Structure 1
């Protein structure tokens, strides 16, 4: 297990199906971190809305983002899976000066669609993928986000994220 000496949090971001939960689960096996999946913090109303194929609005996301920002503020060495699609959402998550590393798991749209179609126990339907891809904002000026191709083998992705953490340590 790799030990991180500084108090840092990691946000694994990306659209639904990008592999945030899978990567986060593997990272906690190799790092002394805790993992939380942002999907677990959506309200029942938001889950029902998405399950019905209705995209969430900024207003729908506001309480959810506040909860996730509190998790990041109140914990150290936390890996949080969260779509964080817009710059404004990432700013809310970033909050105070605690160091947060944003890792964007990038996956080609056809692979994303295949992953979403193969999920049977999740409330997010494949028909909302296009909305998320349209909503996703690239890093703005001065915003540091590390892009990782998550269509690579999991071991490669984990190695790249650990290198990013090591660089943040120095």
Structure 2
């Protein structure tokens, strides 16, 4: 049986973790917080307000891909958070063994900035939001995924995703 991995993607503050937890709970699938797979060097760089380069992100994206593949090899469908801002990043994730499907949490800069202003305990400072929006390449029509509006509740977003992917 082929497994599926839902990659909940978007800029920092879009609600990836909250929505991914809701999806994993409803589907009964294992969940991974992609941020926990970052290297210490990446976390230090972001904590200092320095945007990551593509070269910085590559080892992290490979770790996410490898986690997906390991779960696939064990026969488990999964949910993982990963900003996956660029097509090239998503292409790397699609190298995993599972069917990788993307859930792009899409919202305005103003809404997401307001959410970030109220968030604490995360290494990603609000100052890096502009660099994330600048890097963001929306899903292409040929990519296996959907964009959902983050102004809905996490529960409504999960319902929409499950219905759209017929899970």
Whether the TM-score (by the shorter chain) exceeds 0.5 is yes
Residues 11-160 of structure 1 correspond to what in structure 2 (within 5 A)?
11-75=7-71, 76-96=76-96, 98-140=98-140, 142-160=142-160
Alpha-carbon shift at residue 25 of structure 1 (Å): 1.1
| TM-score under structure 2 length normalisation | 0.92
Q: Structure 1 residues 6 and 38, CA, compared in 2 at 3 Å: closer, same or farther?
A: same
Contact 1:34 1:79 in 2 (8 A): yes
What's the Cα RMSD here? 1.5
Asked whether the equivalents of residues 68 and 96 of structure 2 are also in contact (C-alpha less than 8 Å), the reply is: no
* Contact 2:5/2:77 (8 A) holds in 1: yes
Shift of the 42–91 alpha-carbon distance from structure 1 to 2, 3 Å rule, reads same
- The alignment partner of 1:59 has SS state of helix
Unaligned 5+ segments in structure 1 are none
What count of residue pairs does the alignment treat as equivalent? 163
- Provide runs of 4+ in structure 1 moved above 3 Å: none
In 1, the alpha carbon distance for the partners of 2:161 and 2:15 equals: 13
Deviations 1:37-71 (A, max 9, x none): 11111111111111111000011011101110101
SS at match of 2:17: helix
TM-score by length of 1: 0.90
- Unpaired segments of 5 or more residues in structure 2? none
